[in-house]
Amino acid sequence: MKQSNMGWIHGFLGMVIFAGSMPATRLAVVGFSPEFLTGARAVIAGGLAMLCLLLFKQPFPTLKQIKSLIVIALGVVFGFPFFTALALEHITAARALVFVALLPLATAIFALLRAGERPSSKFWLSAIIGSSFVAIFMWFQDQQSFHLSSDLYMLIAVLVCGLGYAEGGQLSKQLGGWQVICWALIIALPLMLLLFGIYYPKNWASIPVTAYAGLFYVSLFSMLIGFVFWYKGLALGGVARVGQIQLLQPFLGLILCTLVLHESIDFAMIFVCFAVIICVFYAKKYA
């Protein structure tokens, strides 16, 4: 199988795992503060990352690679989890997905700026149309939950995550996908331990079981396993190109919102989903 196709397969698997992040975070912030949740998910994933690196005897990254890892850690280990958790205290997971729809475009822009990728003009047209379809659809889905500060948090989250994706996809060509997220987690560990300790809950008995389930998902899947597939996909298929698979993430996220948070699905979602699939197909074709 061609390397680019393997990249799309790995990227798709990573995207499917990430689709559960918003619903899981929404569940978790019911019982945990955004600060503790951000620290706890990274501490749990960081402990597993350390075991993986020791078990497989991975060499230390170079100084130049460490600089990239710091950018990645700030983007996807701290920035995106922290700002989405802050936002999801006040808005629904469905509204948060409005902004996740802009993540493929943000990733492609940072791939241009940081990774030096130069997709074709037809690729950019497909990416912009696909992002517009999803953003417009999601915007009208959940207008009643408008909250200015939370919307700003989500915009910041998308920007720092796009940067972390682009930087991580590029570095994965040197270190490997799972090694990149593992080293990023370890670099962020001192700050995450600080958040974990300062905001440690005083009354664990009052925390609902669903919040623990959300914490488990974002720690194991969103923070570690998803990135193993995602970064490998970006490295094999190209950051901007494979990043367009994220256009499907809001729809998978909405399905999970329906199953987990009991939100509804309508015909418009199905229609737009097919339109987005066509845009992803053309983005892949013209990349």
* DSSP class of 60: P
The whole model's pTM is what?
0.89
Return d(Cα 112, Cα 158) in angstroms, integer: 16
Domain ranges of the chain: 3-200+213-286
Contact in structure between 139 and 75 (CB atoms under 8 Å): no
Return d(Cα 192, Cα 148) in angstroms, integer: 27
Task: Compute φ and ψ for 32, nearest 5 degrees.
Answer: -120, 150
Tell me which of 99-113, 135-149, 201-215 is least confident. Answer: 135-149
CA torsion sign for 2, 165, 94, 287 is negative
pLDDT tens-digit map of 56-91: 999 999 999 999 999 999 999 999 999 999 999 988
Tell me which of 97-101, 174-178, 248-252 is least confident. Answer: 97-101
- Residue whose entry in the numeric block shows the structure tokens 């300790």: 197
Return d(Cα 261, Cα 276) in angstroms, integer: 24
User: Is 191's pLDDT higher than 70?
Assistant: yes
CA dihedral 217, 223, 228, 230 (to 10 degrees): 100
Average pLDDT (114-141) is 77
Contact in structure between 27 and 260 (CB atoms under 8 Å): yes
Average pLDDT (237-264) is 86
Q: Which amino acid is at 273?
A: C
pLDDT classification of 269: cutoffs 50, 70, 90 = low
CA torsion sign for 232, 237, 240, 244 is negative
User: Is 241's pLDDT higher than 70?
Assistant: yes
Contact in structure between 115 and 166 (CB atoms under 8 Å): yes
Of 229, 269, 75, 216, the closest CA to residue 157 belongs to 75
Return d(Cα 116, Cα 113) in angstroms, integer: 6
Contact in structure between 78 and 134 (CB atoms under 8 Å): no
User: Is 3's pLDDT higher than 90?
Assistant: no
Q: What percent of the chain has pLDDT over 70?
A: 92
- State the pLDDT at residue 267: 72
* DSSP class of 77: I
Tell me which of 1-5, 30-34, 152-156 is least confident. Answer: 1-5
- Residue whose entry in the numeric block shows the structure tokens 């230390």: 60
- State the pLDDT at residue 183: 98
User: Is 261's pLDDT higher than 90?
Assistant: no
- State the pLDDT at residue 141: 60
What token pair was written down for 139? 């915007």
Residue 44: strand, helix, or coil: helix
pLDDT tens-digit map of 129-179: 877 887 777 677 655 555 678 888 998 999 999 999 999 999 999 999 899
Residue 102: strand, helix, or coil: coil
* Neighbour count for residue 251 (Cβ, 10 Å): 23
